[in-house]
Amino acid sequence: MENNIKILYSKDWVDYELIDTGEGEKLERFGKYVFVRPYEGAVWPKDNSIKEWNNIDGKFWSSKQGAKSGWKMKEEIKDKFELSYKGIKFLALPTPFRHLGFFPEQASHWDFIEEKIKNTKRPIKFLNLFGYTGIASLFALRAGADVTHVDASKQSLSWAKENEKASGITGLRIIPDDVLKFLEKEIKRGEKYDAIIMDPPKFGRGPKGETWKIEEMLPELLEKVKKVLSKEPLFIILNSYAIDSSSLSLAHALADTMKNFKGQTSAGELCILEKSKGRVIPLSNVAIWEN
């Protein structure tokens, strides 16, 4: 596995652009809007010659920056605005959690999901755990999969439904539930899935106050995931913004889970290509098992 480390990024974005990074910040374009958000990994100088640094529509301040946490906007953006990636349309809006309802570095996942499902000459049941606003689910759906989308946040699921409508495709099975409880029920029902993506948070609460802590619960999650796999699984993606250690930690855990299946596990980083210097900027750890 140590020789199978992947640096994953998409060169195909049109509606999103990482313009520059530096001094703990990233300068980004989302459609017509330009925002500054914290990026603690940017331990190098920003390029002050880039005019967009001085002409932004909004900035998210973290508590670490010595200011009140939250967005400071030039003008309030009240309504979600439409973006697209390779023909899948979805809605974006600055949220109190610094993101805009999607993670642009995950575009490489969307590409992988659609390609793998399209190239598989059999029906695929796809499961998106901690599915958030559903863009990965929409790519799986367009590729022809039977898609189940699970998240504990009703707000996120409402957004997923809006994205489904914006995309012009239908068929998502959207379920508001705690992920571990959902998996327990699927195990009892004997439901099986061929492809799974999961992006567990560091900390969270389910719809009935269930507590999630990734350090304590990731082994249980993977054990339950193994029990809902079909006899011939296609792939599993384990993504994490919450694990501070190397992506190898995720890959070792995933490889151990899948040790009885034929396939290979890779570790890697989700990145964005930076316009100003052509560098790839790492934003998330990931492990992928595929058959």
Interval 215-247: pLDDT, tens: 778 999 999 999 999 999 999 999 998 656 689
Q: Which residues contact 216 (CB under 8 A, 6 or more apart)?
A: none
DSSP three-state, residue 149 = strand
Detail the DSSP E strand segments found in 181-234.
195-198, 203-205, 211-213
Please indicate, yes or no, if residue 97 is contained in any of the structural domains. no
The per-residue pLDDT of the chain, averaged, comes to 93
* Inter-residue contact 257 to 228 (CB < 8 Å): no
pLDDT at residue 3, rounded to an integer: 56
Domain co-membership, 46 together with 126: no
- Per residue in 35-87, pLDDT (tens digit) is 999 999 999 999 999 999 999 999 999 876 666 789 999 999 999 999 999 99
Is residue 159 domain-shared with residue 273, that is, in the same domain?
yes
Whether 288 shows a pLDDT value over 90: the answer reads yes
Residue 88 domain-assigned (yes or no):
no
Which structural domain range is residue 168 located in?
102-290
Nearest to 198 by CA among 139, 265, 127: 127
3-state secondary structure of 135: helix
In a domain, 241, yes or no: yes
Residue 1 lies in a domain: no
pLDDT of residue 262: 94
Mean pLDDT across the stretch 8-20? 98
When divided into structural domains, the chain yields a total of 2
CATH number, domain with residue 247? 3.40.50.150
Let me know whether 43 and 167 are in one domain: no
pTM score above 0.85 = yes
In tens, the pLDDT along 167-223 reads: 999 999 999 999 999 999 999 999 999 999 999 887 666 556 666 567 778 999 999
Q: Is residue 201 part of a domain?
A: yes
- Distance CA(269)–CA(88), nearest Å, equals 24
Shared domain check, 197 and 77: no
Claim to verify: residue 259 and residue 204 sit in the same structural domain: yes
Please, are residues 94 and 100 in contact by the beta-carbon 8 Å criterion? yes
CB 166 within 8 Å of CB 89: yes
Instruction: Tell me the pLDDT tens digit for each residue of 89-105.
Output: 999 999 998 999 999 99
174 plus 255 within the same structural domain: yes
Q: What is the pLDDT of residue 67?
A: 66
In a domain, 96, yes or no: no
